Amino acid sequence: MVDVGGKAVTHRTAHARVAVHFPPEAARSFAANEFSTSKGPVFHTAIVAGVLAAKRTHELIPFCHPLGLEDCRIEIAMQGEEAVIDCRVSLHGRTGVEMEAMTGASVAALTVYDMCKSLSKGIVIREARLIEKTGGKSGDWRATG
């Protein structure tokens, strides 16, 4: 792990996004069933899974510091044939939370996939990316485009 003992405690945030693309017939079926499958409410389950994963990132990704997240919010919205998953995390600490946001969004996407795979094997998880991060030595950063 990187030594963060000498770093200042600052307010740090990160926002990550993942898109889950459904083939047209699966998207129609999914929407018609009010975003639920035989396994249950897809988005609610994905939100819980994503938050739990964000909190346990240090157990999943080698060399990540264990962090006490102060806030973790996951929002999921259908945009056409895609479920767009946004994960926003924050804390006051000595290291950034980009990996926690990426992990939360990615696990939420995997949960959507798992709960919907009976609709189609053609579901694609794509564009897992950092949208924005604030705080820390390197300062603020925002994706362009």
Structure tokens at 92: 């006051």
- Of all helices (H) and strands (E), which one includes residue 31? helix 24-32
Q: How many CB atoms are closer than 10 A to CB 9?
A: 12
Catalytic residues, by residue number, are 114
Q: Is residue 74 left, alpha or beta, with left meaning phi > 0 and alpha meaning psi from -120 to 50?
A: beta
Name the pLDDT band for 96 (thresholds 50, 70, 90). confident
pTM over 0.85? The answer is yes
Structure tokens at 23: 């083939």
What does the pLDDT look like over 33-50, one tens digit per residue?
788 888 899 999 999 999
* Short-list 98, 89, 96, CA closest to 51: 89
Residue 64 has pLDDT above 90, yes or no: yes
Instruction: Domains for the chain: give ranges and CATH numbers.
Output: 10-137 (3.30.70.640)
Report the largest interatomic distance among the alpha carbons of the chain, rounded to a whole angstrom: 54
Mean predicted confidence (pLDDT) in 14-37? 89
| One-letter amino acid for residue 14 of the chain | A
